């Protein structure tokens, strides 16, 4: 992530009483001198029979809805411009929503996408929805997923890195992750904390009736010292603002959210990986559990050579027709 010149905000609900993603994106745009784009994808289905009932053509209906969306976006933009933020607005017919945002980011060469966590149908309301995951997997640039409503005020930015580059994790991903963390920290006038999570104490099973028995690893201290040296060496290669380092021991899905909570982080920066032969980004159950459990905003960074699979051509509007009644 180089200099932030254009920040794209994906707005799902144009009539929402509160828009934390817009507010936070405006903070970052103002600090970075970036242009802020407010984008809304009209992804709802259009019922052909409803058009017939209104005696309106598809083209006229699409234009009518675009105009209405732009009017609401401009009302939001007008408030932001009072704070000397350069704001542009765009609305397009396209679906599904995550792909529509990705296409817009590709078209405008956005340096950062900001979006709010979608309402989830999961039993636990804090879990990320399908649209969130697709946006994180497919976006061509870093994505800031907003979970908290309060604006940034000198936030703690926590970067989760892996100086050992395990699991075929490329070193260039950590380069991008640290660079992005630095830029976000500076833009938000925050403080940077860099954390590495190492595997916990070894567990062995004494028997299925007795359950697992935890055995202290005699090499644990040496392992932690090695991890601290590796983290310090990794970080030393980058020009970063004032920061602190920490090595935490534990299972990633638990240790990273706990570290974020302990540090009172408002933004956690994590890297995303694409697995060979699989078009899913970031990921398996562990990373999904981490992202769901984090109590703060999440900034996902991709490797420098990542290329999205999302086609560049918009799909336009979804058209639906009521089934014709069968006659005997």
What kind of architecture, by CATH, is found in domain 6-301?
3-Layer(aba) Sandwich (3.40)
Buried b (16+ CB within 10 A) or exposed e, 293-316: bbebbbbbbbbeebebebeeebee
Instruction: Please say whether the beta carbons of 115 and 128 come within 8 A.
Output: no
Task: Match 């083209």 to its residue by tokens.
Answer: 59
In tens, the pLDDT along 117-164 reads 865 544 444 456 778 888 988 999 999 999 999 999 999 999 999 888
Q: Bridge-partner residues for 114, per DSSP?
A: 9, 144
- pTM equals 0.86
Place of tokens 């940034």: 152
Q: Name the packing angle between helices 130-138 and 97-108 (round to 10°).
A: 30
Q: How confident is the model at residue 236 (pLDDT cuts 50, 70, 90)?
A: very high
Torsion over CA: 56, 60, 65, 68 (sign) = negative
Pairing of strands 112-116, 6-10: parallel
Confidence at residue 328, expressed as pLDDT on a 0 to 100 scale: 44
Integer Cα distance of 137 and 167 in angstroms: 18
- The answer on pLDDT for 286 being more than 90 is no
- The residue among 287 and 92 whose pLDDT is bigger is 92
| SS3 at position 268 | strand
| Mean pLDDT for all residues in the chain | 85
**Cα 128 to Cα 120: distance, rounded to the nearest angstrom:** 6
Give the model's confidence band at 231: pLDDT under 50 very low, under 70 low, under 90 confident, else very high. Answer: very high
Per-residue confidence (pLDDT) for residue 115, from 0 to 100? 96
Confidence check: pLDDT of 225 > 80: yes
pLDDT value at position 318?
86
Sign for the CA dihedral angle at 27, 29, 30, 32 comes to: positive
Alpha helices in 82-219 (DSSP H): 97-108, 130-138, 171-187
* Cα dihedral 207, 208, 214, 219 sign: positive
CB of 228 closer than 8 Å to CB of 259: no
pLDDT, position 212? 55
């Amino acid at each position: 992530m180089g200099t932030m010149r254009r920040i794209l905000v994906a707005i799902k609900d144009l009539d929402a009483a509160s828009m934390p993603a817009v507010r936070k994106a405006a903070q970052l745009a103002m600090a970075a001198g970036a242009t802020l784009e407010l984008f809304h994808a009209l992804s709802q289905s259009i019922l052909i029979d409803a058009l017939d009932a209104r005696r309106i053509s598809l083209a006229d209906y699409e234009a009518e809805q675009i105009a209405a969306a732009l009017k609401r976006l401009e009302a939001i933009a007008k408030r932001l411009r009072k704070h000397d933020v350069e704001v542009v607005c765009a609305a397009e017919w396209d679906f599904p929503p995550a792909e529509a945002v990705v296409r817009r980011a590709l078209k405008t060469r956005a340096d950062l996408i900001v979006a709010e966590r979608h309402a989830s149908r999961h039993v636990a309301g804090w879990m990320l929805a399908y649209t969130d995951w697709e946006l994180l997997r497919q976006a061509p640039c870093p994505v800031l997923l907003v979970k908290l409503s309060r604006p940034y005020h000198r936030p703690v930015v926590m970067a989760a890195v892996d100086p050992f580059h395990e699991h075929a994790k490329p070193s260039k991903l950590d380069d991008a992750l640290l660079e992005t963390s630095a830029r976000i920290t500076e833009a938000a006038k925050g403080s940077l904390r860099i954390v590495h999570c190492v595997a916990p104490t070894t567990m062995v099973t004494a028997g299925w009736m007795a359950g697992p028995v935890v055995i202290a690893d005699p090499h644990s201290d040496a392992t932690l010292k090695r991890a601290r040296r590796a983290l310090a060496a990794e970080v030393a290669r980058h020009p970063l603002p004032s920061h602190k380092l920490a090595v935490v021991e534990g299972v990633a899905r638990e240790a990273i959210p706990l570290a974020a909570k302990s540090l009172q982080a408002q933004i956690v920066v994590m890297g995303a990986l694409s697995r060979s032969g699989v078009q899913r980004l970031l990921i398996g159950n562990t990373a999904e559990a981490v992202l769901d459990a984090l109590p703060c905003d999440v900034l996902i960074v991709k490797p420098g050579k990542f290329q999205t699979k999302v086609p560049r051509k918009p799909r336009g509007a979804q058209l639906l027709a009521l089934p014709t009644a069968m006659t005997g």
